[in-house]
Amino acid sequence: MSGTFAPAPGGAPVLRQLVTQAGMEARLLLRNGEQLLIAVVIPVIVLIGAVRGADRVGLDLDGRPIDVLTPGVLALAVMSTAFTSLAIATGFERRYGVLKRLGTAPLSRTTLLGGKVAALLLVEVIQFAVIGGVGLALGWDGPSGVAGVLCAVVAALLGTAAFAALGMLLAGTLRAEATLAAANLVYLLLLAGGAVILPASAYGGLGDVVRWLPSGALGEAMRAACDGAIAGRDLVVLLAWAALGSVLTARTFKWE
Amino acid sequence: MLVDGLVMRYDERTAVDGLSFEVESHTITAVLGPNGAGKTTTLETCEGYRRAQAGTVRVLGLDPVRERSALLPRIGVMLQSGGAWSGARADEMLRHFARLHAHPLPVDLLMERLALHECGRTPYRRLSGGQQQRLGLALALVGRPELVFVDEPTAGLDPQIRRGVWELLEELRADGVTVVLTTHYLEEAERLADKVHIMDKGRLVASGTPLELTRGGTVATIRLVVTQPFPPGSPEALAAALGENTELTVLDPLSLQVSGPADGSTLAKVAAWCADHDVLPESLSLGQRNLEDVFLELTGREDFS
């Protein structure tokens, strides 16, 4: 048979599908006003506000406020994208039947998830460029050498894994509106009390407890990384959250 | 495509009850039925969204659940609604789907054929219902499938655009694509389908070409519409006058239908009854059955739309 619509079925190569899917998801994330607010605007405001505030209140930190706070805000950026943005976007994808429709395309679930992860990492690179740039402009020393950069990348990757697994868990079980509310609430609670921006040591006796939270572990790991150190315990905590979140998500996620 | 003895239940309710039918390649097959007849459940089982609880389903020779990854590239599925990111633009969505396939159709061609070129830059959430629907059809076709499932492809479309969609579906068949469609529009099935399967309460109640189904042989249908509601008891009097070989159905207070031997005496009896009961006819039509008549007879309900 020939003609305009003559069948020629087949899926595109996996790599092309992955790039396409990642590009689409990243564009949609960045196009959405609220998502952009939570991804870039809020972290930058928090960074500037906290640095000014720390000087005024006389917060007792190990080192200059800008050097302690910038890695914390980078950790916050990972949390906002990998957890809050991902959960909300995925919740509405379920609600609007996007996942169902993608399920009719020759796109495997692995490629779909791979595309989501790649989109998160792409957005995070942009966030790190903006937040790091603002930090440097405010006098941040930056990560110490190549080792510091590598440690920060490891911390960001493990943090992304942990928070993305938890975000998918939320999105795959709750209704879209409930996901929206819960993802924002958890974000705010962890922002305020999760040892993301302020080091765990600033929480007094609770400091040891909050380090078991993914937020505290990521914050500590990021702060250590920017000093060129590997925070073994915190990275293991992140890995454990990632594993727990993935197992629970795999068991409970509903595609529709 | 083959469905053999399919059974699907939700909780207590049986949605599909021992359904069997076949679809031949390069044809358009219409699945008709009132709401709740089990059409969508059947289609979703063929598409691999649901697992057959009993019976066998084979699509292009494959098991839609176990061999889903082999099947997916070869079929196109049009969903009834939704299924797009609310912020994605129409052309962006279609281009995205095109890139997931190896040999996609040209996106511009599809946009043009489905009258979507004017709303290409519009985000999905601001498309009209008809535009969302046509985009759904475009998404089902863009990967050049061998077989497409289209669910209510023209519901709520302008007559002109509907005709465009019909021509497109006919062109698909001519180019070697197999089309399985569900529709509420009997006119659509009658015009397009090579084969029609009518479902009711999860069962197949009739199958055949539109011609086979509507061929009434010696049976004619007389439809009478009157200006005043029928006087009490008068339809019963007509039924008695017509005798046993004739079937009378009161469609509503102002119209009725008589199916019976296609001869002058049936018509004369109806005319005499009008005179006896002072019934003033507004219109009296005689005709062969159409698919709508068949459908109503078989499903016994009028809520087909």
Residue range A207-218: mean pLDDT, rounded = 94
Q: Is residue B295 part of a domain?
A: no
Q: Which of A9, A24, A28 sits opposite B145 (nearest CB)?
A: A9
**Does one domain contain both B201 and B110?**
yes
In order of A74, A197, A246, the CA distances from A240 in angstroms are 21, 21, 10
Kindly state the percentage of chain A with pLDDT values over 90. Answer: 77
**Does one domain contain both B114 and B179?**
yes
Q: Is the model's pLDDT at B289 over the cut of 50? A: yes
Last residue of a domain, one of B163, B180, B213: B213
* CB-CB under 8 Å, A100 with B47: no
Quick check: helix, strand or coil at residue B100?
coil
SS3 content of chain A, % helix, strand, coil (to 5): 80, 0, 20
**Does one domain contain both B24 and B94?**
yes
Residues of B in contact with A92 (CB under 8 A): 86
Last residue of a domain, one of B213, B232, B248: B213
Q: Does residue A181 contact residue A170 with C-beta atoms inside 8 Å?
A: no
pLDDT at B303: 45
Q: Is residue A140 part of a domain?
A: yes
pLDDT at B61: 93
Number of domains in chain B: 2
Number of domains in chain A: 1
Q: Is residue B259 part of a domain?
A: yes
pLDDT at B304: 39
More confident residue, B212 or A23: A23
Q: Is residue B187 part of a domain?
A: yes
Q: Which of B179, B259, B44, B124 lies closest to A92 in space, CA to CA? A: B124
Q: Please work out, in degrees rounded to the nearest 5, the angle formed at the alpha carbon of residue A240 by the alpha carbons of A196 and A227.
A: 45
More confident residue, B77 or A34: B77
Residue range A95-113: mean pLDDT, rounded = 91
Residue range A123-127: mean pLDDT, rounded = 96
Q: Is residue B294 part of a domain?
A: no
B28 vs A: CB within 8 A: no
Q: Is residue A154 part of a domain?
A: yes
* CB-CB under 8 Å, B96 with A24: yes
**Does one domain contain both B186 and B115?**
yes
Q: Is residue A216 part of a domain?
A: yes
Q: Is the model's pLDDT at B305 over the cut of 60? A: no
Contacts of residue B210, defined as CB under 8 A and 6 or more positions apart, other chains included, come to B189, B190, B193, B196, B291
Q: Is residue B293 part of a domain?
A: no
pLDDT tens digits, B113-129: 999 999 999 999 999 99
In order of A25, A172, A256, B258, B295, the CA distances from A99 in angstroms are 12, 11, 7, 50, 35
pLDDT at A13: 96
More confident residue, B157 or A81: A81
Quote the ipTM score: 0.88
**Does one domain contain both B94 and B178?**
yes
More confident residue, B245 or A23: A23
**Does one domain contain both B37 and B54?**
yes
**Does one domain contain both B259 and B195?**
no
Q: Is residue A7 part of a domain?
A: no
**Does one domain contain both B47 and B169?**
yes
Confidence band for A133, pLDDT divided at 50, 70 and 90: very high
- Cα Rg for chain A, rounded, in angstroms? 20
pLDDT tens digits, A148-199: 999 999 999 999 999 999 999 999 999 999 999 999 999 999 999 999 999 9
Q: Is residue A5 part of a domain?
A: no
Q: Is the model's pLDDT at B278 over the cut of 50? A: yes
pLDDT at A174: 94
| Cα separation, B145 vs B78, whole angstroms | 12
Q: Does residue A102 contact residue A226 with C-beta atoms inside 8 Å?
A: no
Q: Is residue B111 part of a domain?
A: yes
Q: Which of B297, B302, B40, B293 lies closest to B187 in space, CA to CA? A: B293
A31 vs B: CB within 8 A: yes
Q: Is the model's pLDDT at A132 over the cut of 70? A: yes
On average, the pLDDT of chain B sits at 88
**Does one domain contain both B150 and B246?**
no
Q: Is the model's pLDDT at A34 over the cut of 90? A: no
Mutate to test the interface with B, among A88, A101, A254 (most CBs of B within 10 A): A101
pLDDT tens digits, B20-55: 999 999 999 999 888 888 888 999 999 998 999 999
Q: Is the model's pLDDT at A24 over the cut of 70? A: yes
**Does one domain contain both B79 and B204?**
yes
Residue range B256-263: mean pLDDT, rounded = 78
| Cα separation, A181 vs A178, whole angstroms | 5
Confidence band for B70, pLDDT divided at 50, 70 and 90: very high
Q: What are the backbone angles phi and psi of residue B33, rounded to the nearest 5°?
A: 170, 155
> SS3 letters for B27-41?
CEEEEECCCCCCHHH
CATH number, domain of B280, equals 3.30.70.260
pLDDT at B288: 65
Q: Which of B85, B97, B177 sits opposite A105 (nearest CB)?
A: B97
Mutate to test the interface with B, among A98, A104, A116, A180 (most CBs of B within 10 A): A104
Residue B260's domain spans which residues?
216-288
Q: Is residue B41 part of a domain?
A: yes
**Does one domain contain both B242 and B135?**
no
Contacts of residue B52, defined as CB under 8 A and 6 or more positions apart, other chains included, come to B6, B7, B8, B45, B65
pLDDT tens digits, A48-81: 999 888 877 766 777 889 999 999 999 999 999 9
DSSP-derived pairing of the beta strands B195-200 and B203-208: antiparallel
Q: Output DSSP code: residue A40.
A: I
**Does one domain contain both B147 and B274?**
no
pLDDT at B262: 66
Q: Which residues pair with B56 in a beta bridge?
A: B4
Confidence band for B252, pLDDT divided at 50, 70 and 90: confident
How many CB atoms lie under 10 A from the CB of residue A196?
32
Last residue of a domain, one of B172, B198, B213: B213
Q: Is residue B121 part of a domain?
A: yes
pLDDT at A144: 85
pLDDT tens digits, B176-202: 999 999 988 888 888 999 999 998 888
- Minimum CA–CA partner of A22 in chain B: B96
Please tell me the pTM assigned to this model.
Answer: 0.82
Q: Does residue B121 contact residue B131 with C-beta atoms inside 8 Å?
A: no
Residue A158's domain spans which residues?
26-252
List the structure tokens of A178: 């409930």
